[in-house]
Structure formats: structure tokens, C-alpha cells
Structure 1
Amino acid sequence: MKYLVTGAAGFIGSVVVEQLTKNGHQVVGIDNLNDYYDVALKEARLARIQNPNFKLVRLDIADRDSVASLFASEQFDKVIHLAAQAGVRYSIENPHAYADSNLVGHLNILEGCRHNQVKHLVYASSSSVYGLNAKTPFATSDSVDHPVSLYAATKKSNELMAHSYSHLYDIPTTGLRFFTVYGSWGRPDMAPFIFTKKILDGDVIDINNNGDMWRDFTHVEDIVEGVVRIADVVPTRNSSWTVEEGSPASSSAPYAIYNIGHGSPINLMDFVKAIEDELGIEAQKNFREMQPGDVYQTYADTQDLFAVTGYTPKMTVKEGVAEFVQWYREFYNK
């Protein structure tokens, strides 16, 4: 197969590219290598991909003409769309970046699929769409109409946009609601990276909601296994589906939504303890209130994804934290 992977220099995207090329697929990756976080880290991720089946194109998905030209010239079989402006808190500070990348960019990818007979579009949604939902575990059959950040609202919008294109143009689309992903080559704006860096530097770490928070931490290797497998599970039309009786995660159109996570959340303090144990250093902690846009708990009901892919996460938090800390110390010479 010939794949397009957007966000190829990203945390998840770079590992997806690596896995697809190892599996013998031809991959074109696109990324604008913006400076939302350290560009050198993104370049280092790309440098690891030593495979003749991979080609990188430096491109912004918000650039309509460039995206259209790339689709027309390359004629992809499948698309894994992971590029986005990430980060909940940054969406409060810089909302227009989210409109450009997550809305305009997503539309440009949908248009590319529409005009070039792409067989399957897999795209990144987020667990943040569950917003004010209190029932756990979060299930794709739940309503997701009350986001608590603009980032979450853009991800919900991505799902709605994908459904309209599946319905109108018969494009098979699958949205994946990612839960908290961590592991080597991770993003510097995420808690595992922030905690590890600050503990090693002797700085104070901020603990939101006084530590009473739960996250469905999932190692990137497990996440990528799920992404690659779901690309082969192409949704089809279901003429018997109705809005009144069917799940919001399905449709009469060739459309599907899945949670992708570990399915077993752990307390934030237990995760911090795992990092402390691996580093052999006790963190200096500043306990504070819940922050704007944050949620108390994420907990994925992943049974539907497991059923169609056979995907089950293997990495324990202890193993995953050890893997991440080892990478961090080696990469940053700590």
C-alpha cells in the first residue's frame, strides 16, 4: 500500500511511519516542523527513520493548494492523518492556531481523499471530546457535546466533518480518540516529559487538583500497534443503522469512531511515583487546584477496538516509565 502520514515528525506519527515502512508499505510523510515545541526533537525523530520506502514532504496541511497537489501527484491508497495543533492549555492562549490546523487542515485532507479515491482515512480525534462527561469508562456510545477546551471542540468537529464526507462521497473514515500517550520521543508539553525534566533539574512539579486525577496512560508502542491495525479495518455502509437506535460511533455511512487507550486508568500520584522510583529522586511538589480546560479523569472503553483488531495493550506503566526515562536520560545526556 501507499500511505500518507500527516504529522510524520510528531510523537505518534514518526512511530507510525517507522512501523508502516517496516511492514513493507510505501509512506509519504508530511509535516510543517513548526516551533510549538523543540524542532530539534522533531528532526531527531525523522533521522531515526532510515528506510528507502519513506519520503518526507515539508508542508502545512492548512495550505490548500499544496495539499491538493500532493494528493493528485502521489495517489495514496490510505491516509493516516495525525497532524494537528496539539495541547489543551495552548488552545486557550492561541485559539487561531487550532482553527488553521485542526479545522482548515482537516478539511484539506478530506478534500484530498474525496478527489483521489483514497480507500480509507484514519484520523486522530481525542479523549478530550468527552469534556464534562462524568460516567466512566468513556464509551463511544456516549454523548460528546460538552467540550471544555477549544482543542476538544476542534476534535469533535473533525468527527462531524469526517461523517459528512463519508455520507456524501462514500469515503471510509475512522476516527481514533487517543487517550494519554507517553513513551520515548514524547512531547515536551506533556506531563511525563515535564515531570521527568523538572525532577532531574531539581525544579518543583505542579500537581493539579491536589493529585486527585486519573489518566488512562498508554504507551506509544501500544498506540501505534492499534493505529496500524485499524487502517486495515475499513468501515462499510450499514443500511439498517438509524440515528434513533444506532451508536454515534457508527453510521449508515462508511464511518467509525473508536477509543484507543489502555482501558485501565491510574492515579496521577502513582504515575509520579513510578517516575520518582525510576529516577531514584523524590520530586518537589506544588499541589494546586484544577486548571482551566483540564478534566478529572480519562478512562477508555476500548472493547470495540480490541474486538475488530485483536489489539490489546501490552506495556505496563512500570515498564513504560522505565523505557521513557531511559530514553530521556540518553537523549538529553542526563
Structure 2
Amino acid sequence: MRYLITGTAGFIGFHLARRLLSDGHEVVGVDNFSTYYDVALKEARNAILETHGDAFRVYRIDLEDAAALDKAWGEARPDVVIHLAAQAGVRYSIDHPETYVSSNLIGTFNVLEAARKYQPRHLMAASTSSAYGANTEMPFRESDRAVHPLTLYAATKGATELMGHSYANLFRIPTTFFRFFTVYGPWGRPDMALFKFARAILDDEPIDVYGNGDMSRDFTFVSDLVESIVRLSATIPGDTPVEGDSLSPVAPYRLVNIGGGTPSSLMDYIGELERTLGREAKKNFLPMQDGDVRSTVAAPDLLVALTGYKPATPISVGVPAFVEWYLDHRGR
């Protein structure tokens, strides 16, 4: 099949595109190669995708440019669209809120308008566990009300879920939104904790440990996330729900958690990094940051019911895999 993926030069988009290309599909990428972090890392990811020859091509455009997106989509005529491009980062949204409105809201609106025009077989889009906001009952379930976002980032992602539902209802576009839970792994973003911690430890600099280390996350290894998305792409929302489904009563729309439901503490996460690097981190313990939450845990039941799969890579495997890549990347 032909997939259109927004954000192919990004961390998750790169891994997903590479997997689909390896499976024999065509991939059309859309990415603006933004300067939010090192563009050279994005170019390196893209260069790997381009080794697949004619099976891959990328449009270097902003999603906010509706005409350019329409042209790319019209030329590509994809079967499945997976919308991953967004302005990421919970903490960055506090000081740079305008970029989230532009990238996440306007960009997603343009994606939905193109889907309305070209009617893909399946529209998929990324959301985040941050959408659960102030919820405290664990694990987080798709049926939970998520109406108390703690940051503008979370608010914009929650808003895109609602926008997606409205378009699915009005224009009968089969749509799946999925909420990610702390994705990590090789080729990760430099602003993510594991990347920053590894660099600091190797440079003999202290790491900032927020919440005084008393935090936990449902860490999701990137290959597990990709496997989940690939399987969900073939599970198109229709009229027949499964047990515990989030399928809308009025639209071909579904919301799915992608997480394993097995959280790890932040200190264990750091401990795996220390063991793999063979060095102890100098830790600067700090209070919780604005907009942060103490823990996240996904209920993976719906993902399992739909795909027969859930993320299961432990941090004892995932962190060393990241470190192997990072040391090679750092040594270049």
C-alpha cells in the first residue's frame, strides 16, 4: 500500500517509515525539517529512508501551508495517512505556546481538510498520554474523561482528537487517534530525557532529576510503538465494536492507548542508563516542574483486543539499545 506519513524526519515518523518500507510498502513523507532541534539529525534519518529509492519520497513543506499539503496529497493519493508531525514537548509549550497553536491545531486542521477532499482508506493521528492531564486513577483508560489538561501542549493534542472526531462524523473518514506513553529508543530527540542524561553523564555533568526522583512512566520502546501502529493501520474503525471499545456511537472513530501498562520508576530508568554506560550520574534533585505529572500508566486492553499485541520491551533491553545507538551517533 501507499502510506503518507507526516513527520518522517522525526523520531517516531522515521522508525515507522523505515518499518513500512522494509515491509514493501511505498511511503510519502511530509516534513518541514524544523529547527526545534538539530536538523542534522533529521537529515541523517531522512538519508536512511532515501536509500529505499523510488519507494520513498519526501515533501519538505509546512503543514500550515494548506496549498502545499493539498498538492503533495493529491500527487501521492495515499491509501493510509498517519499524522505524526507536531510541535512536541510539554515544557517547551509553557514558554512558546504560539508554536503549538500553529503546528498542532492549524497543521492538523489542514490534514483533516485534505482527508475530507481525498478520502483515505484510514486516517491515523498521534495524540499523547498528556491528554489525561490531572487524572489520577490508574491505569489511564480511553473511556476516562480527559478534560483537565495541565499544559497547552496537552490541550492542543486533546483538541485535535475532538477535531478528528468531528470530521469522521461529518465526512465518514475512518479515523484512529492513538495516545503515546513516553516513547524512547535509538534516533530519539535531543530534548528527551534519555538523550540529555546520556550526554550529561558522558560529559561528567549533573543531570536534573525532577520530582526528586519520585516519578514513574509507562516507558514505550519505539519498535513496540511502531508494531502497534502497523497493526492498528489494518484495524479500520467500523460499526462493530470489540469489548471495551472506544468506538464512537456516531462516527467511524476510535481512540487507542499505545502503552504496555507496566510502568518503571524514573530512578530505575536512570539506573539502567548508569549500568549500561558504566558511570554513575551526578544527580541534581529538583521539585516537580509546572505541567508535569507524577506517574502515567496505560491500560493496554483495547490495543490487545484490536491487534493481539501490546508493548513489552523492558527498560533493561530498551535503554541499552538506545545507548548503543547514541555512542555511535556521538562518535561520528
- Offset of 1:249 from its aligned partner? 5.3
> Per the alignment, in what secondary structure is the counterpart of residue 177 of structure 2?
strand
- AA aligned to 2:286 is R
Who is 1:24 aligned against?
Answer: 24
8 Å CA contact retained: 2:133, 2:148: yes
Who is 2:192 aligned against?
Answer: 190
- Offset of 1:247 from its aligned partner? 6.5
Question: Distance between the aligned counterparts of 2:169 and 2:239, measured in 1?
Answer: 9
Who is 2:226 aligned against?
Answer: 224
- Offset of 1:262 from its aligned partner? 2.0
1:91 lines up with 2:89 in the alignment = no
1:21-59: CA deviation from partner (whole Å, max 9, x where unpaired) = 111111100100001000011111111222121111101
Question: Distance between the aligned counterparts of 1:47 and 1:73, measured in 2?
Answer: 22
- AA aligned to 1:13 is G
- Offset of 1:183 from its aligned partner? 0.5
- AA aligned to 1:21 is L
Match of 1:269 among 267, 291, 304: 267
1:279-301: CA deviation from partner (whole Å, max 9, x where unpaired) = 11000001111001111111000
> Per the alignment, in what secondary structure is the counterpart of residue 48 of structure 1?
helix
Who is 2:8 aligned against?
Answer: 8
Question: Distance between the aligned counterparts of 1:219 and 1:148, measured in 2?
Answer: 25
1:67 lines up with 2:65 in the alignment = no
Name the count of aligned residue pairs.
Answer: 329
Who is 1:281 aligned against?
Answer: 279
Matching of residues 1-334 of structure 1 within 5 Å: 1-49=1-49, 50-52=51-53, 53-237=55-239, 250-333=248-331
| Greater Cα shift, 309-318 or 121-130 | 309-318
> Per the alignment, in what secondary structure is the counterpart of residue 254 of structure 2?
strand
8 Å CA contact retained: 1:249, 1:258: no
> Per the alignment, in what secondary structure is the counterpart of residue 47 of structure 1?
helix
Question: Distance between the aligned counterparts of 2:83 and 2:239, measured in 1?
Answer: 22
1:147-184: CA deviation from partner (whole Å, max 9, x where unpaired) = 00000001100100000000000001100100001100
| TM-score, normalization by structure 1 | 0.96
Question: Distance between the aligned counterparts of 1:262 and 1:280, measured in 2?
Answer: 28
| Greater Cα shift, 70-79 or 32-41 | 70-79
- Offset of 1:73 from its aligned partner? 2.1
1:61-100: CA deviation from partner (whole Å, max 9, x where unpaired) = 1111111122222211110100000000111111111111
Structure 2: gaps (5+ residues)? none
- Offset of 1:316 from its aligned partner? 1.6
What percent identity do the matched residue pairs reach?
Answer: 51
Question: Distance between the aligned counterparts of 2:235 and 2:331, measured in 1?
Answer: 41
8 Å CA contact retained: 1:140, 1:249: no
- AA aligned to 2:58 is L
8 Å CA contact retained: 1:14, 1:46: yes
- Offset of 1:203 from its aligned partner? 0.7
| Greater Cα shift, 199-208 or 313-322 | 313-322
8 Å CA contact retained: 2:216, 2:265: yes
- Offset of 1:3 from its aligned partner? 0.8
1:117-164: CA deviation from partner (whole Å, max 9, x where unpaired) = 211111000000011000000110100000000000011001000000
Question: Distance between the aligned counterparts of 1:218 and 1:71, measured in 2?
Answer: 30
| TM-score, normalization by structure 2 | 0.96
- Offset of 1:250 from its aligned partner? 3.1
8 Å CA contact retained: 2:168, 2:175: yes
- Offset of 1:252 from its aligned partner? 2.2
Question: Distance between the aligned counterparts of 2:42 and 2:304, measured in 1?
Answer: 30
Structure 1: gaps (5+ residues)? none
8 Å CA contact retained: 1:141, 1:249: no
- AA aligned to 2:188 is G
> Per the alignment, in what secondary structure is the counterpart of residue 151 of structure 1?
helix
1:246-304: CA deviation from partner (whole Å, max 9, x where unpaired) = 97553321000000012100110010000000011000001111001111111000110
Question: Distance between the aligned counterparts of 2:300 and 2:40, measured in 1?
Answer: 34
